[in-house]
Amino acid sequence: MKDKESSIEKFERLPEHESGVRRLMSDAHDIPYQPLHSLAEAKSFSDGVVIVEGDDGGQIYIVCPASLVECSMETLVRLLRDLDNISWPGNDLNSARVFYECLPVGAPVFGSMGGATVESDIWIHQRFVDSGLEGPIREVIGGRRSCILDVA
């Protein structure tokens, strides 16, 4: 009988800075994938983007050129948490993440619920636009507001 460990295919753990969905699409379809480690690194590339996603890549919330992000990392994470709570209340906090990648304008951003497309401006999921959150989201990203939700 073979040793159990030798008979089970070993998989490498996905690095923290990589999206599982986009890594899978890249590997399956031979599509280039260039994940980055930080907002600062994304800002150093002309095609650096910030991708805010929930439901383990099941919903892309925001795709934004990194050059347009004026808020702090903490504020960006708060925006992620607020959007995730609206879309997937009670979901595990680890299922929503902010990723940084190099993608040219017009490139698809793979994810369920339609995914997204890299634009020269901020792309916001239609659900948030329809809910009246487009303005507050843009203000948070632009550093003019600390959160999208009114704080009493």
The domains of the chain are located at 16-141
- Report the DSSP beta bridge partners of residue 63: 51, 123
- Distance spanning both ends of the chain, measured CA to CA: 66
Q: How confident is the model at residue 9 (pLDDT cuts 50, 70, 90)?
A: low
Q: What is the pLDDT of residue 143?
A: 97
pLDDT tens, 93-139? 788 999 999 999 999 998 877 789 999 999 999 999 999 999 999 99
Going by the DSSP 8-state scheme, the letter that residue 145 receives in this structure is: -
At residue 7, does pLDDT exceed 70?
no
Listed residue (97, 98, 75) closest to 147, CA to CA: 75
pTM of the entire structure?
A: 0.86
| pLDDT tens, position by position, 15-69 | 888 887 788 777 888 888 899 999 999 999 999 999 999 987 789 999 999 999 9
